[in-house]
Structure 1
Amino acid sequence: MTSGTNRIMDEFAKLMTDAAGAAQGVRKEIETAFNAQAERWLNTMDVVKREEFEAVREMAIKARDENEALLARVAALEAKLAAKTK
């Protein structure tokens, strides 16, 4: 009788293991579908990715710094020109 009970328990354990594997597969499938749908939704909203935002931000910082340097050079040249015309 003990071998029959052990066999039932083994079969039950196998069934639970298979069910857990199937549930995990379903979970992965749902995650994949959700991520794909979320990406499609974000693409329709014209939302930029973080990497693209950071790249444009760095370009803007560099352009601002160059602009400030050019403004300082123009101011110095204008002062020099004003000193020569006097």
Structure 2
Amino acid sequence: MSTGPNRIMDEFAKLMTDAAGAAQGVRREIETAFNAHAERWLNSLDIVKREEFEAVREMAIKARDENEALLARIEVLETRLSSKSK
């Protein structure tokens, strides 16, 4: 068993290590509580998540491309129909 100044320093080092561990635990608790609160707040604002936005955006692009292709087909068919009518 150490005595004198070394024992005091050992005890002080142990106390600081324990305090640092406790501080990290408190930090994790605060982060978890803050993240949960922020998520609840954002959900109450009815904000769309980035993933959902990107999915709908891709669907809209695909639908627009399909509409353009169908419009081109209709124009070709109308041209054929009008040339057959003459």
TM-score (structure 1 length as normaliser): 0.94
Count of residue pairs the alignment pairs up: 85
Partner of 2:53: 53
Partner of 1:23: 23
Q: CA deviation at 1:50?
A: 1.3
Q: CA deviation at 1:3?
A: 3.1
Q: Which runs of 4+ in 1 moved over 6 A?
A: none
Gaps of 5+ in 2: none
AA paired with 1:59? M
1:12 aligns with 2:45: no
RMSD value, Cα = 1.1
Gaps of 5+ in 1: none
Partner of 1:85: 85
Partner of 2:43: 43
Partner of 1:71: 71
Q: Report the identity percentage.
A: 81
TM-score (structure 2 length as normaliser): 0.94
Render the CA deviation track for 1:13-40: whole Å, top value 9, x for unaligned. Answer: 0000011111111111110001000100
